[in-house]
Chains A and B, each alone.
Chain A
């Protein structure tokens, strides 16, 4: 019998008695992250998001649990960008560090891998960076995710392009052969075909590809109206550069996910102009949340004060994961894992991140991800209407 279960049982017997027996004033949340290795820049973003949440909560006295207030502590473990080590790290956090709750490791793959551990120990786990349906369709009860399914990014994109760029017929798709980038490209293919667009090119490139010239020459020879490329920051900087190298131009060029990051805009310079993208969140969205951050403006302000930069969607998602967990704990009035799980599952609240309501598989269903375009070096929201900052500009040239 493991201690976590005993603790849960004791708490269920009555908070008063258990409170005396387990004089615990801190809620510990475990966060396995790729602090070293190739994914370390991503880990840094996650850490900034989690830390901001913990600091903000603790500054206000902590999380309200029934009658008392409990401080939050985040326990980080480095898994060296190595997924099996992430699974071990999650297990270590639960069994040895005795954390109460868990944040998932980075990305869909590692989240899926570690979810079997949190399910085994029945630890409510919030995933801040997993969108792929395969992660949530395992029938697990303790996993909750802040990203909507991938098609919620491609559908509005296809809608806008269909509405505002009448001449677009031929679509070329080039995807990194990797979990998320490939999945989103496949969704794009579906969204395009659904609207009668002609997908003239669909190819994958290997992880670690140093040259895209051949693929781009082939794309150029088909003169597509819409070029859709997926990958991470380094891939998409190189791709955009090599498009210019061959003087490739198109009415619409979409890249996912890098343009949401400042690194990509810096790395492409003027070539970033008019490239469209979509993400689950953008600092320009406006929500009046009931969570610890309140409005989106307030969140952006706090983030700026802490780190001197605008938050991107990955950073905000980490903070949102904390805020959702907090809402669930406060609603449950306890840190009992089953009760918190039930509160998460039944949640229907507004947050700075957007409305939060999870589907039966644990993935959020209530968000409407914004579509944006880089205009003069700045991401400009072009959808949804309520927060629009500008119109879709056609024509990506060099």
Chain B
């Protein structure tokens, strides 16, 4: 645990130096990467540790984005709006978890997937509060310069990613983490051995919701315009999963490595193959699943082991 923590410290310190580049483009990419990292790490709680194929990331993200935006519309200061959005996502995850985590496998996957669809339609129809299909413009933060603003949101995301990572590290090394791994291995057995599976699963689900909710609210302030089809996009869920698979499920640095690798590929493909970028993204997913189902982390371990043998 100590080793992981110190590696993480160095990693986050290095990332914190990014604003020195001074380029707006890199700032945007960096902020997006950290946000993806938060989504991937959050999914790891329920998907990686407990082995429940959740597609609820989009639901938490959209909920957080709209909670933050609507709160600010009513004059709540930005910071409080973000924290409030996180708390709302936490409560929502608890209620949802109690209801849905009785389901397993594909049933759970589908139910969690559909939650975002229902929320999207609800937000769409509550025109008075959310602007409906018109979307919602947020107040543009009053800041000295564009660069200062970009730096601000970068550091906020960095902080959020660091908090999420810390939570993941603590969880993995706690009784909760142990219980979740038992559930992943064999839930019925864990249940019989006296593990309170419902409590553990719901806790994991809440952890997977709270940081995503905050990320959604920060995202809304950062882009200062949100609309239902964007923030409830099922691709947020899919991307979180793909990033964890890419990095390596269940490992500490897998989600972060996956987020960085995925965003680099996405950006590279988008810039160079405009017409076919979704197809290339699909191809990457296919190759990943077929040839590297345990992720990039496993690749480095495999290479490392081979090195030792020599």
Contacts and interface: CB of A to CB of B under 8 A. Distances in A.
Interface in B9-42: 24-25, 28
Given A36-B278, A112-B137, A179-B134, 9 more contacts: A36-B274, A83-B225, A87-B223, A87-B225, A92-B25, A95-B146, A112-B225, A113-B137, A182-B133
B223 A116 contact: no
A78 interface: yes
A116 B146 contact: no
Contacts of A41: none
Given A35-B274, A82-B230, A84-B225, A113 B135 contact: yes
A23 interface: no
B226 A96 contact: no
Interface in B223-249: 223-227, 230, 233
Given A2-B146, A92-B25, A178-B133, A116 B227 contact: no
B25 A84 contact: no
Contacts of B25: 92, 96
Interface string A61-104: 00000000000000000101011100110011001100000000
Interface in A1-57: 1-2, 35-36
Interface string A205-246: 011000000000000000000000000000000000000000
Interface string A98-132: 00000000001100110010001000000000001
Contacts of B270: 78, 80
Contacts of B225: 83-84, 87, 112-113, 116
26 contacts: A35-B274, A36-B275, A36-B277, A78-B274, A80-B270, A82-B230, A84-B225, A84-B226, A84-B227, A95-B24, A109-B134, A109-B227, A112-B134, A112-B225, A113-B137, A113-B225, A116-B224, A116-B225, A120-B140, A120-B146, A177-B124, A177-B125, A179-B134, A182-B133, A206-B124, A207-B133
B309 to A, nearest CB: 46
Contact of A134 (B134, B227, B230, B233): B134
A179 B137 CA distance: 15
Interface size classification for chain B: 20 to 34
Interface of A: 1-2, 35-36, 78, 80, 82-84, 87-88, 91-92, 95-96, 108-109, 112-113, 116, 120, 132, 134, 177-179, 182, 206-207
Contact of A2 (B28, B125, B140, B145): B145
Nearest to A40: B275
Contacts of B28: 88, 92
A95 B28 CA distance: 12
A84 B275 contact: no
B121 interface: yes
A127 to B, nearest CB: 15
Nearest to B138: A116
A84 B225 CA distance: 6
In order of increasing CB-CB distance, the 4 nearest A-B pairs are A113-B225, A84-B223, A179-B133, A178-B133
B140 A109 contact: no
A84 B145 CA distance: 21
A172 B133 CA distance: 23
B133 A112 contact: no
Given A35-B274, A95-B24, A87 B135 contact: no
A220 B68 CA distance: 44
A109 B146 contact: no
Interface string B120-139: 01001100000011110100
A124 to B, nearest CB: 18
Nearest to B274: A78
Contacts of B125: 177
